[in-house]
Structure 1
């Protein structure tokens, strides 16, 4: 319990921390302009601050009364039913009537007519577009509205990101982009004080941790499980302190969190947008249908009812919804009347006071109440809005887009680092003008809660992918320019952009080529049958990534060094022998040198489960697990319990037992083990030299629907681990949370969906363990999964559905493409690690990080090696002569005996200077630096 909800209202952590300028060095980092333990952007040192912005702009409330804070707002999806461009311009209104540019035009006009009015805006991606089109006079007008607190920005990211399927590094990037624009444009008064995630479908603890460390004072959202909400309403615990990290010392990751009363919609009967059907306030007593008395009576009834389920004499009402305020006059005219007529009742003894407000003004009043608040330490997954309606399907929906977003994030980090290494020539060099900005914006939009989540219409998903591809093209020019400069070679470079379907034009048409890869071997093989296509090339590449083997390094002597890592090659040794095993079957073995010996057997009951016996060569302990790909048939809503269908958002299988895909399976051993469950489901098992992980490469699709059944394909791993109903998943790629079957830590669950109700988002890894063993699965994209049986982990790979789940998208999740008109084929990889729990983190942490970074050469401008616990999260050009640098401690407290300790990093030594400039990093801490750069 805690009495105060603001850690530091002044936000000193956002200000510059100036330091003495060291002597110029021949390397990069010369002057530390800004350092912070938060991840936001620095605020102008001399902001043009009006004395009335921020908390000073709040309207006065009345002590002893029930104060009702009306918050005019619009929720503008950065793509959903229409593309982001269509939403901004108001195009394709046959799909949905929505035009963001008109919303902003109308709101500004109406704010100018009454200084009491307030409005909050969220999505910087839209506001940035609108701002660029305005005249100087209009921009100055808007700045004045912001300086007076009449127009207030909340959240402030480029978009309102999804919380289940996004990786923390991409979330930080998109937040930085939005916050920087607001800071550069409006200074101190443009900085949001409140995080506002009203529409995402469940809420991650890591997001709360990030928001707390960014310096937000509070966090508001609209969706949580219906059972959790009911309990909190009765207990008056809809506002709480979220302790969002088990590693960071309180209050570093503490964040006051509030649940809004109506999702993010107005109270019933009080919607006055052009899209609404509620009657306006008719206040001329000489005209027919005068309804002021009725409106006031109904409003007072709603306000008093809402006050019963909140803790203070302040309540909040969201007056707006999706794409509302295109004609802001409708809203404000009625809100002005509502405030006037309700407050007039105070002369008759009413104790209700209504005012225009913002979330930060509401938060300030809760702070002044000086109460204690309940403490929460877990997260808000999974989310269900009724007994059979669990929003856990989107954890996996559109797996190809989820993978494309993940590798685009990896490529963007490479692009940004090479932009710093290459300097101006990277942006304009021998291969033309390149930039990282296009991919930054595409990636930022892709974090939206209807983008990477997979809950958009098909044409919108195509648009997200198109934007990412366009960003890649701009970055490829930049990368070519930089590599040309660093290597001294201007030879043309060809990028293989379709490796997901094993297509590279150069390798298929050219007899000679030089391949650049982090690690690869070539195998002669003329048909890639597991890829569902025929290649005309004679070779394909097998990347050894990720490998924990010590790489061979060499560097080129440039002022900004280029480091390339070459990993050891794959052992091609295969032995086939007869042995007595647990299943009394033939075994085949892949022997390796340092870590594991791997043997396989087939389950005698069906020949469908591939079982592996792993013997560790260090301690000679043997582990056994089995892996099988199977499927759930999706509910079509035709049953006695519920009419709910499985769809883009909702996962609802029609039975609790998965179906086998085929009664027989085919096994083939080459330099790998291949297993075909059917023509549309296969997997390849690989173990690399010196690797501590087993790779499972799965290929699924086209998912057949000729039987009129939607299908949701899973990979299930069964082991002898005594997990006791407990498993663990990561939160946005960072800290790990414990999950327990049919259980919620803060409320008593009545489980109505034994499969979907036990699914959680897996962003990068999940594991089960007992006292002796831990089985960890590292994923290459965000997926949904759970532990339905003890000793088991299942992960959903692909979904193809025939019905819409009636949550607004209006079409079934039935993906096709020009290449695969019969249904999308998706391929991916899981890495399996078996180890004692005490040392497991030393394996799965680096594996997960490498899966996010991707198999790319290690380019670095650093002259010293970072400690193993420290990760270089961001290197990005900030201004012409400044670079943004982020370092993170990537281990949790008590996670690793070796690495879960505070670490000291000398920034100047990283930059080649012998002077001492030390930074301390505690477990799970991220530090941001703005550095002035000079190239020799």
Structure 2
């Protein structure tokens, strides 16, 4: 047996191979606490925005046109901080934004990288938060939040290894804090969370009640959902008079001459702060925006400050980290049986002072917000298709690398929020556009390989996306007589989808996957888009339904332009007497002014109006709160909302076989189509709006859409939290503190709406919901009303740092924005919520549409049929209606899969039940051979009692029929790393880190895995 042991050990070293110097032993960074004194935890940090006043690259390089007042270079922060830490083992620093760390790491030598690993291993450099960026919590969707945390964790694993796994959330600058985001933090395995911005009245009350440390009940659906949460006594920057950074013009260095004075001054400040907390611990930041570019100056002064308190009778001042602070507080809470107060909702809206509600950014830069949502949609489809490509033998998945990163940047709290300079917005768009183009490059060949009947087929289907179809531009569909349409369904259930394509022809023939001829409608476009940029715009839209798209599957359609004029062409004509659209099941009516009067959903009729209004944005000075202006952050209307027009300039309709549409032209700024589709599952009314070139006088203009119904909701309404949990709101009311709603009656009642807003009439047992296609601000300011802000153009800067007026211009005009709202009506018994959840997922992850030129002989229909199937199914069966496959993507030498239960407790009698999913034989291309449960961020294994034997039997191939049934509770997300029965799982996506260390951490992990397998075998033999 001893011989077998040494054989195993020898095999381990043979497999592991040479690696760079690294020590995986993680040392606790926490210094001893003095239980007899107040412990002041100094946390050196640099808050580095991934774009704001300068672009991501300018911030990293320390360049850019705004360097005169934003002299920030992140590379110098990391360079000098690593050197300063290495000089003194007592020092501590936290690193937060992985996007910058990755950019810096790629420029370093092996010697520097080993130094960083040593600092991480011994606890001097602690990786905190760990996401690609510090994301916003109002406008970001949960799928994108999870993705960008996962990608950040991945980079940390591949660079600094095990000791760099983040344990604490650090959300110090987002403009308000979300309950769902806190729930995500809990599910990532975080031990605590540090937040920064909450309403000044809330903060004042918490200070008075010693409530800056508290327990946040992040999710009512889970048994273990409480997360320790804390905040600073003031703000996230160094205390006034104790900022020693080169960026601090008022800071005073500590010298032998002034040390006593500085200690006294600091202690007096702590005399105030110690009353804010229940324990003998104070959390104090040392740093701020882009500080520590010359780190030794900072650290040398902090060293002196700590030394000055060495024998202080009251205060123990020490280098610390958020994890050490939380550890100390928890220990004291447990020891002294201290009860921390609890919170259950969120921290929206945020007001920094009077008249300053940060609710404008919920809507700011609506085009950018929509582009981000499109990027996520394409990323999920690309990840799925790339997974199938890897399964089929293609190891290259680098096409999705840039999109992962660009989407991580877009979640930043000065990106998705729209609170950055215009030049930075343009750079974000440039990054995302380039990443999307890179991601879609191989998709045509991937789809070809999924559909081909024989291995030797090499025809190029020439498939590509049409990202400009929203302004009626798509060269292939406009200018080719024959073209292919591939429709990929990213959902794990069968769906039907209406494909809308810009065309210029008069008559078409569409052939479906089963050789059937597909019915279509041909409609005029909603707008003469040539007025926007003078491009080659189509005049019509071709609309057909792609029925029963298989889960994670693809259907191919063949479109031919034919002679003659189609009977399916429905030209817009003036509305005269017929003012009903749709049918008895789903439809709407308009009045003689062309505006909505009623909707019918599933046969139930509701009186409801929809109209556009605008607020005059205050154009006051940003010098003080009393004269605060509306701007990128702040929404401060000057008076009540003004109706755009009592009567429409144009009211037209078109009735087709698939869809009825009413076109409304309000004026040169606003055009809208109200439409109802005629499928049996299309129980909603769509509002397709175009708003732009907003004209202002001496004030800003902030446009809203308002729905006014007979619903009596008694001041109660519901908004989603990042697309998941529903949060109850009450007009003019806060759960934790009192405020005067008359100060700002509109903006104080605005909340972030990422996915939907709902009002309910408990007497009539009905609910009305409006779903949106991007993050927006809105609320219910009167009973029966729902309003959503769609566009903003202001006159003044609001004075919160961006130093630029929110005034988007494109092609010489105020920016035009196009978007959709989806209005639906249902019962409060749960059936309404079920449909809303289903619709939200269908609109979030719409089928990916790709088109290809089919005018060549090899792409004639008869030849295509010989070589290709026109349908591919990714799953053998749809998942249950309450389960979504949230993630399917390649991951190193394996894959990630996430399953989520999409309903909350008590949301619906049936759909809110626990549900079991059998992963055995679920996928068409592969079988799962090993399934490892991991935390939400995919960076930590979740150990269960059966894990060891399960891993062992799978490794030794003793069981090919392992139980792969997974049970999900309401709102639960389960994450897995899995391998398959195909032999190409080893196609690892190297090259993420520039090749100075040959992925040494990945090698070490593989080596460790082999050791576990071999030692397991030895265990069985013994």
TM-score band by shorter chain is 0.7 to 0.9
- Judge conservation of contact 2:705–2:790 (CA < 8 Å) in 1: yes
Mapping 1:20-35, distance limit 5 Å: none
Partner residue in 2 for 1:778? 771
Shift of 1:529: 2.1
Partner residue in 2 for 1:462? 426
**C-alpha offsets along residues 375-426 of structure 1, whole Å, 9 cap, x if unaligned?**
1000000000111000000000000000000011010000000001112779
2:129 aligned counterpart, secondary structure: coil
- Evaluate the alpha carbon distance shift between residue 650 and residue 615 of structure 1 in structure 2; reply closer, same or farther with a 3 A threshold: closer
**C-alpha offsets along residues 210-254 of structure 1, whole Å, 9 cap, x if unaligned?**
0001110000011100010011111111111100112122x1x21
- Give the alignment partner of residue 649 of structure 1, picking from 633, 638, 646: 633
Partner residue in 1 for 2:542? 541
Shift of 1:552: 2.9
Separation (CA, whole Å) in 2 of partners of 1:269 and 1:563: 63
Cα RMSD (Å):
2.8
Confirm or deny that 1:855 pairs with 2:847: yes
Separation (CA, whole Å) in 2 of partners of 1:434 and 1:269: 49
Partner residue in 2 for 1:529? 527
**C-alpha offsets along residues 285-342 of structure 1, whole Å, 9 cap, x if unaligned?**
xxxxx32222111100001110011111110110000000000111111111111112
**C-alpha offsets along residues 749-783 of structure 1, whole Å, 9 cap, x if unaligned?**
22221000000000011110112221100100000
- Evaluate the alpha carbon distance shift between residue 376 and residue 72 of structure 1 in structure 2; reply closer, same or farther with a 3 A threshold: same
Partner residue in 2 for 1:136? 110
- Evaluate the alpha carbon distance shift between residue 335 and residue 529 of structure 1 in structure 2; reply closer, same or farther with a 3 A threshold: same
- Evaluate the alpha carbon distance shift between residue 867 and residue 574 of structure 1 in structure 2; reply closer, same or farther with a 3 A threshold: farther
Confirm or deny that 1:878 pairs with 2:891: yes
Partner residue in 1 for 2:355? 388
- Give the alignment partner of residue 923 of structure 1, picking from 949, 967, 970: 970
Separation (CA, whole Å) in 2 of partners of 1:457 and 1:775: 37
Partner residue in 2 for 1:5? none
Partner residue in 1 for 2:909? 897
Shift of 1:445: 0.8
Partner residue in 2 for 1:748? 738
**C-alpha offsets along residues 178-218 of structure 1, whole Å, 9 cap, x if unaligned?**
11121232332101111000000000000100000111000
- Judge conservation of contact 1:434–1:476 (CA < 8 Å) in 2: no
Separation (CA, whole Å) in 2 of partners of 1:186 and 1:864: 41
Partner residue in 2 for 1:27? none
- Evaluate the alpha carbon distance shift between residue 223 and residue 674 of structure 1 in structure 2; reply closer, same or farther with a 3 A threshold: same
**What is the count of residue pairs matched by the alignment?**
846
- Give the alignment partner of residue 358 of structure 1, picking from 306, 321, 328: 321
- Judge conservation of contact 2:589–2:596 (CA < 8 Å) in 1: no
Confirm or deny that 1:73 pairs with 2:120: no
Separation (CA, whole Å) in 1 of partners of 2:803 and 2:394: 42
TM-score by length of 1: 0.86
Confirm or deny that 1:87 pairs with 2:59: yes
- Give the alignment partner of residue 520 of structure 1, picking from 496, 499, 518: 499
Partner residue in 2 for 1:40? none
- Judge conservation of contact 1:531–1:699 (CA < 8 Å) in 2: no
Separation (CA, whole Å) in 1 of partners of 2:715 and 2:247: 47
Q: Which runs of 5+ in 2 are unaligned?
A: 1-18, 453-458, 488-496, 501-519, 558-566, 656-660, 850-870, 928-960, 984-1022
Confirm or deny that 1:715 pairs with 2:716: no
**C-alpha offsets along residues 11-32 of structure 1, whole Å, 9 cap, x if unaligned?**
xxxxxxxxxxxxxxxxxxxxxx
Separation (CA, whole Å) in 1 of partners of 2:270 and 2:920: 59
**C-alpha offsets along residues 22-66 of structure 1, whole Å, 9 cap, x if unaligned?**
xxxxxxxxxxxxxxxxxxxxxx9xx953252xxx22111111101
Separation (CA, whole Å) in 2 of partners of 1:246 and 1:65: 38
Moved more, 262-271 or 782-791: 262-271
Separation (CA, whole Å) in 1 of partners of 2:718 and 2:404: 32
Separation (CA, whole Å) in 2 of partners of 1:544 and 1:464: 34
- Give the alignment partner of residue 637 of structure 1, picking from 620, 624, 627: 620
**C-alpha offsets along residues 902-928 of structure 1, whole Å, 9 cap, x if unaligned?**
000111131466763211100000000
- Give the alignment partner of residue 32 of structure 2, picking from 47, 60, 63: 60
- Give the alignment partner of residue 795 of structure 2, picking from 802, 805, 808: 802
Separation (CA, whole Å) in 2 of partners of 1:151 and 1:890: 38
Moved more, 80-89 or 496-505: 496-505
Separation (CA, whole Å) in 1 of partners of 2:213 and 2:398: 48
TM-score by length of 2: 0.79
Separation (CA, whole Å) in 2 of partners of 1:137 and 1:434: 28
- Give the alignment partner of residue 498 of structure 1, picking from 453, 468, 488: 468
2:891 aligned counterpart, secondary structure: strand
Separation (CA, whole Å) in 1 of partners of 2:176 and 2:281: 25
**C-alpha offsets along residues 266-287 of structure 1, whole Å, 9 cap, x if unaligned?**
1121111101123434534xxx
Separation (CA, whole Å) in 2 of partners of 1:527 and 1:597: 21
2:979 aligned counterpart, secondary structure: strand
Partner residue in 2 for 1:145? 119
**C-alpha offsets along residues 502-547 of structure 1, whole Å, 9 cap, x if unaligned?**
11122332233233345336544566426564865453234769xx
Shift of 1:901: 0.5
**C-alpha offsets along residues 644-683 of structure 1, whole Å, 9 cap, x if unaligned?**
0000010001013334356654311123111111111121
2:418 aligned counterpart, secondary structure: coil
Confirm or deny that 1:769 pairs with 2:760: yes
Shift of 1:860: 5.7
- Evaluate the alpha carbon distance shift between residue 449 and residue 859 of structure 1 in structure 2; reply closer, same or farther with a 3 A threshold: farther
